[in-house]
């Protein structure tokens, strides 16, 4: 398995472990239905690639997370009547391209309520987005189209790469280019930075919040990050839909609402790098955009590894230790 493949398999396996723990623990308390779809089959197949011992470890870590989520989301366990069914579903990855980063969904149609979980295995990236001369990141991320000037600028960089790809029959490698960090990455990042500033100026408050919502998640969700001997739960309660009571049953912990930004304060290169831009917002939001070639072979596109460097202090974070020998 290559790195991307390995990361995909471990991530999907963890999604399945969380769904399975939700099902087993909640089956005793309420009517549960699991939606049998292709994403579920894929996740189960990835889970089954591991031996029983590793599967047990995944389930144990998922169990700790699910127990905690049941404590802070009383609607998971409590129904109004027998028709109030809890549906559990693994979502298709395409939703993430639309800004919905949730992997697992728990829905009660009778209560008009849902919560989502984004499952991560040992990584904290918020998004892996591409840039190319055919991708309009402005329209896709923030609903404002990129300018022809931007496409002209990046076309000067990506078009020669396309020519190299074609002439070499897709065999030419990035290592054959002299200092591609300077000749490719820097001009692409400069064009991206200039265009992001232009788009921001069209409607600053909206663009600042929209950029965070697209990259971090436009639906409220819990991020569950699996470590080797721990699991971390973060509550992205951006719109106030998480942590709701059920009738007179209150959550055992409070996960406060987080304020979105309404200003971009600065966009600049990370110190001593030619690959990473830091975008700083008000309300303590900060993102890093590291650009890289996704393949060893030259292609007319680049990939962003986007990470959340800081978030408001109101972001609820709880890290649970999972015993090694259990």
- Reported as a single tens digit per residue, the pLDDT across 104-129 is 999 999 999 999 999 988 766 787 88
At 65, the pLDDT band (50, 70, 90 cuts) reads very high
Contacts of 187 (CB under 8 A, 6+ apart): 153, 154, 156, 157
Chain length of the chain = 326
Backbone φ and ψ for 248, nearest 5 degrees, come out as -100, 10
- The residue among 108, 1, 110, 103 whose CA lies nearest residue 62 is 103
Could you tell me which residues are beta bridge partners of residue 32?
Answer: 86
Helices 186-202, 204-216: axis angle to 10 degrees equals 130
3-state secondary structure of 233: strand
Output the pLDDT for position 112. Answer: 96
- In the chain, the largest separation of any two C-alpha atoms, in whole Å, equals 69
CB 127 within 8 A of CB 304: yes
**pTM for this predicted structure:** 0.88
Span 144-160, pLDDT tens digits:
999 999 999 999 999 99
Distance CA 307, CA 305 (A): 7
At 87, the pLDDT band (50, 70, 90 cuts) reads very high
pLDDT of 10 strictly over 80: yes
**Structure tokens that stand for 262 in this block:** 């309404």
pLDDT of 275 strictly over 50: yes
**Structure tokens that stand for 111 in this block:** 């209560």
Distance CA 12, CA 41 (A): 10
Average of per-residue pLDDT across 293-320: 93
Give how far Cα 106 sits from Cα of 60, 61, 69, 234, 247, Å.
Answer: 20, 19, 11, 17, 18
Give the start-to-end residue ranges of the domains of the chain. 3-121, 126-212+260-310
Distance CA 290, CA 286 (A): 13
Beta strands in the chain (DSSP E): 32-34, 86-90, 104-108, 113-121, 125-132, 221-226, 230-236, 264-269, 276-281, 286-292, 301-310, 316-321
pLDDT of 162 strictly over 80: yes
pLDDT of 99 strictly over 80: no
Output the pLDDT for position 4. Answer: 46
Span 203-260, pLDDT tens digits:
999 999 999 999 988 899 999 999 989 999 999 999 999 999 999 999 999 999 999 9
Average of per-residue pLDDT across 95-112: 85
Output the pLDDT for position 1. Answer: 44
Using alpha carbons only, give the angle 10, 137, 115 rounded to the nearest 5 degrees: 45
3-state secondary structure of 179: coil
Output the pLDDT for position 95. Answer: 54
Output the pLDDT for position 326. Answer: 53
| Beta strands 276-281 and 264-269, pairing class | antiparallel
| Beta strands 32-34 and 86-90, pairing class | parallel
Tokens 């700083």 sit at which residue? 280
At 296, the pLDDT band (50, 70, 90 cuts) reads very high
């Amino acid at each position: 398995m290559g790195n991307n493949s390995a990361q995909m398999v471990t991530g999907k396996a963890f999604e399945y472990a969380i769904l399975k723990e939700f099902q087993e623990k909640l089956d005793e308390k309420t009517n549960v239905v699991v939606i049998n779809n292709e994403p579920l089959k894929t996740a189960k197949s990835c889970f089954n690639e591991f031996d029983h011992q590793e599967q047990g470890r995944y389930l144990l870590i998922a169990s700790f997370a699910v127990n905690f989520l049941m404590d802070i989301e009383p609607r998971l366990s409590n129904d109004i009547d027998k028709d109030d069914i809890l549906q559990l579903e693994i979502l298709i990855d395409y939703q993430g391209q639309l800004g919905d980063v949730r992997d697992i969904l728990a829905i009660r149609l009778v209560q008009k309520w849902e919560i989502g979980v984004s499952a991560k295995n040992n990584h904290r990236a918020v998004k892996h987005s591409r840039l190319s001369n055919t991708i309009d990141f402005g329209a896709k991320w923030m609903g404002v189209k990129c300018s022809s000037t931007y496409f002209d600028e990046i076309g000067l960089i990506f078009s020669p790469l396309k020519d190299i790809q074609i002439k070499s029959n897709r065999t030419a490698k990035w290592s054959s280019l002299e200092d591609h960090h300077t000749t490719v990455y820097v001009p692409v990042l400069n064009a991206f930075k200039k265009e992001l500033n232009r788009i921001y100026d069209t409607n600053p408050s909206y663009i600042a919040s929209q950029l965070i919502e697209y990259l971090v998640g436009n639906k409220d969700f819990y991020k569950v990050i699996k470590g080797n001997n721990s699991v971390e739960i973060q509550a992205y309660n951006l719109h106030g839909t998480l942590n709701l009571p059920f009738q007179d049953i209150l959550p055992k912990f409070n996960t406060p609402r987080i304020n979105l930004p309404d200003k971009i304060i600065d966009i600049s290169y990370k110190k001593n790098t030619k690959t990473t831009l830091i975008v700083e917002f008000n309300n303590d939001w900060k993102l890093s955009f590291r650009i890289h070639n996704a393949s060893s072979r030259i292609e007319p596109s680049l990939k962003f590894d986007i990470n959340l460097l800081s978030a408001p202090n109101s972001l609820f974070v709880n890290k649970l230790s999972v015993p090694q020998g259990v």
